[in-house]
Structure 1
Amino acid sequence: MIDRDLLLRATVGLIAAPSENPPDDTRAAAEVAIRLLRAIPGVVVTEHTKAEPVRNVVAVLPGARPGKRLVLSGHLDTYPAGDPSRWSVPPFAATIRNDRLYGRGAADMKGGIAAAIAALAALAERPDFAGELVLALAGDEESMGTSGTQFLLDTVPAVRGDVAIVPDAGSPAVIRFGEKGMVWLDLAAEGRAAHGAHVHRGDNAAERLMEAVRRILALRDWPVDAPASIREASAAARAVSEPLGGAGEADTLTRITVNLGTIAAGISPNLVPDRAIAGLDIRLPPGATTAAVIAAARAAIADLPRVSMTVRVAWEPTVTDPTHPLFEALRRSAARVLGTEPVLNMRVGASDARLFRLAGIPTAVFGPTPYGMGGGDEYVLIPELIAVAETIEAASRDILGG
């Protein structure tokens, strides 16, 4: 049975240990997690660091006999709290108002980590299951995970499980089985500086860049033949998933999207800029590959003189077969806790779940609904935190045979 006091204490303690990324310093949050985990009987806790100040924590709870290994994965880092004026409460005070628990990371994803810790503690009270339950807490998720979860997967054998559950921000009403891939592109255009009154003497890099950006944005119309199972799951989940994820989510999940995230040029309106730069985020569904998208982007701007493109990030789409027993265990457990069965769907945003899938590990994302994620007054609903913890406990016993 979930210890609700432990669940709340863990959430409050983790929020009170700032771990904003940047600077990606998870030392204080890792120390809080270690104290909580070492108080649980039978749990072996180790700390792992690739590069300071990113601290990662792994906790292992062995069962009563050999069996499968289930990994619960969480990230300790958060978005920066940002401008304090956007908050009606201190961002690191973990303020409780009625059923809401406020604070940076409440939903993304210190609440989910606390739910995993509470589930681990519940299994430790009755460790009659087979195999072992592992909790992997990493930093660096908001900056792609190379010093966090990827480092743990590469160096800590206990983190390579038979299956994994990531209690990241989402909704108890939706179990996520896959994520779109991503490509981040940097564009740069070179020109010739001149006074704005003497444009005949200059060559405007900003205008050249605008044309390059226009052509990359046109990749939004690039046809993608997403697998039928993905299209069908998205359509079936739409009535439940879109009210949570926003109108248009189903369409977004099955097509290429391009976001112009940054753009800069020049220093004054009356000067012709000689250099302009832009950064774009491309998300691609299953059925498309990063190689094909990058090749299409290069081809789109190939005839533009003095324009260059650099690939900063490239991750393939990742999917676990939605018929995998992992999802049935989660659905059964969630139905008992919630009184209604969750739907299965893809996830719009990226998470460390992709790293487990790329390592060949079937992975589900199941966590609380985020409110104010990335902005001010981020909060999570306490009843949802309890429901997530109870579902993870029940699903863990189901998967491990307890």
Structure 2
Amino acid sequence: MKSSTDPVQNLAKLIACPSVTPVEGGALTALQAMLSPLGFSVERPVFSEDGTSDVENLYARRSGNGPHLMFAGHTDVVPVGDEAAWTYPPFSAAIHNGEMYGRGAVDMKGGIACFAAAVARYLDKNGELKGSISFLITGDEEGPSINGTGKLLEWAKAKGESWDAAIVGEPTNPDKLGDMIKIGRRGSLSGTIVVNGVQGHAAYPHLADNPVRGLVTLVDSLLYPVFDEGTKDFQASNLEITTIDVGNTAVNVLPAKATAIFNIRYNDTWTDETLMAEIHNRLDKASGRSKLRPGKKTPVNYELIWRHRPSHVFFTHDEKLIGTLTSSVEAVTGNRPQLSTSGGTSDARFIKDYCPVVEFGLVGKTMHMVDERVALADLETLTQIYERFIADFFA
């Protein structure tokens, strides 16, 4: 079997590259070496923005007459953590008991390795494509996602590129291959609440204004009542407080400031604008409550700072894309996949503005964990699914 048609060999080459965000680490070079012999033209633009690291990306295209299919993903990986806790070195691509170990094995170098193998096999059998395939691969998915897929899409569009459909190769299956295709995602919005008080002695609270009391009131207003009960296509919106901090280590001092950070995953009941307005309204109303601030008639002195840019909710309706992928999964695995919008965000949130997009990849049980690993049998199965999809999509 030629190396590019073998997903195991492809993945071993990618894992061997220590491409922890935002470092390229040789991973894009390894992918280019797989795609160039298959007739892909490859470009590797670098994007920059003040306050962030430069990020190298890859865009590869093999052109033909017919629809244009994009495969999207990322070669960057999260840090390995305690390397001594790994059974095998995290960039060794060691194989044991039918599994390959390594950071990025399932999230998501494995998906890239399989799609490259699927394209190679299809070309070996058919010679030509009845359309075009492009790889849109970033090195900034696990990081701030500023110099990655969003800018790569803008760059490609400015060059005249357009797409008819896209697959993101994220690990979507919870237990076994064929479980789940992601056809949408909830949005994500984060913010910081800062409550300013008056520092003082814990024994003389009337001379101070404890910001913790105000912060508790504000946080409570965001947790209850719930934002919604969910919709036909999405889980209920859910807000979580992820950090509370006062920067105070003294037991007898009331702090001058208290902060809380929150993240809400929201469904199509909301837009980012309507959700921001709802959160503002809740905090404004709560700031006037005095239950936890006896003797304080002034509102809680707070600031609300929105963090980063929101990730918008989206839902894909394209019947050809969803139907073809569903049939391909069922034909290879015997399982009819669930169509889901669960989970976190992915770079599909950028792609949905350019073409219909779905996500399908490996089983994600070990992603981001020590001893991240993938079954070699799953690599072969996913490659067969992707090859079947390519054939049916261009049929």
The corresponding residue for 2:13 is: 13
What SS class does the counterpart of residue 185 from structure 1 fall into? strand
1:256 aligns with one of 220, 223, 237: 237
The separation in 2 between residues aligned to 1:127 and 1:197, in whole angstroms, is 82
CA-CA distance at 1:108 after TM superposition:
0.8
The corresponding residue for 1:296 is: 278
Q: Is the 8 A contact 2:4 2:116 kept in 1?
A: no
The separation in 1 between residues aligned to 2:2 and 2:138, in whole angstroms, is 23
The separation in 2 between residues aligned to 1:32 and 1:4, in whole angstroms, is 11
Question: Which structure 2 residues correspond to residues 317-336 of structure 1 after superposition, within 5 A?
Answer: 317-321=313-317, 324-336=319-331
The corresponding residue for 1:339 is: 334
Instruction: For residues 291-348 of structure 1, give each alpha carbon's deviation from its aligned partner in whole angstroms, at most 9, with x where no partner exists.
Output: 2221111111114221111122322211101x61111111221122112322222231
The corresponding residue for 1:91 is: 90
Q: Is the 8 A contact 1:19 1:26 kept in 2?
A: yes
The corresponding residue for 1:238 is: none
**1:314 aligned onto 2:310:** yes
The corresponding residue for 1:212 is: 218
The separation in 2 between residues aligned to 1:352 and 1:202, in whole angstroms, is 47
What SS class does the counterpart of residue 153 from structure 2 fall into? helix
The separation in 2 between residues aligned to 1:152 and 1:309, in whole angstroms, is 32
1:47 aligns with one of 44, 49, 69: 44
The separation in 2 between residues aligned to 1:41 and 1:369, in whole angstroms, is 27
The corresponding residue for 1:222 is: 227
CA-CA distance at 1:4 after TM superposition:
8.0
The corresponding residue for 1:350 is: 345
**1:169 aligned onto 2:151:** no
The separation in 1 between residues aligned to 2:275 and 2:107, in whole angstroms, is 29
Q: Is the 8 A contact 1:11 1:106 kept in 2?
A: yes
Q: Is the 8 A contact 1:368 1:384 kept in 2?
A: yes
- Tell me: CA distance 1:4–1:14, structure 2 relative to 1, closer, same or farther (3 Å): closer
The corresponding residue for 2:70 is: 71
The corresponding residue for 2:101 is: 102
Q: Is the 8 A contact 2:4 2:120 kept in 1?
A: no
Moved more, 206-215 or 361-370: 206-215
Amino acid of the residue matched to residue 216 of structure 2? M
The corresponding residue for 2:383 is: 389
CA-CA distance at 1:89 after TM superposition:
2.5
The separation in 2 between residues aligned to 1:199 and 1:95, in whole angstroms, is 61
Q: Is the 8 A contact 2:5 2:116 kept in 1?
A: no
Q: Is the 8 A contact 2:4 2:34 kept in 1?
A: no
Instruction: For residues 144-164 of structure 1, give each alpha carbon's deviation from its aligned partner in whole angstroms, at most 9, with x where no partner exists.
Output: 533111111101137631000
CA-CA distance at 1:2 after TM superposition:
9.0
The corresponding residue for 2:35 is: 37
- Tell me: CA distance 1:108–1:225, structure 2 relative to 1, closer, same or farther (3 Å): closer
The separation in 1 between residues aligned to 2:201 and 2:86, in whole angstroms, is 44
The corresponding residue for 1:400 is: 394
**1:194 aligned onto 2:200:** yes
The corresponding residue for 1:250 is: none
What SS class does the counterpart of residue 303 from structure 2 fall into? strand
The separation in 1 between residues aligned to 2:39 and 2:237, in whole angstroms, is 47
The separation in 1 between residues aligned to 2:219 and 2:201, in whole angstroms, is 25
Q: Is the 8 A contact 2:90 2:101 kept in 1?
A: yes
The corresponding residue for 1:283 is: 265
- Tell me: CA distance 1:347–1:301, structure 2 relative to 1, closer, same or farther (3 Å): same
**1:273 aligned onto 2:255:** yes
What SS class does the counterpart of residue 106 from structure 2 fall into? helix
The separation in 1 between residues aligned to 2:84 and 2:57, in whole angstroms, is 32
Q: Normalising by structure 2, what TM-score?
A: 0.87
Amino acid of the residue matched to residue 115 of structure 1? C
CA-CA distance at 1:84 after TM superposition:
2.8
Query: 5+ unaligned residues in a row in structure 2: which ranges?
Result: 288-299
Amino acid of the residue matched to residue 45 of structure 1? V
CA RMSD of aligned residues (A): 2.2
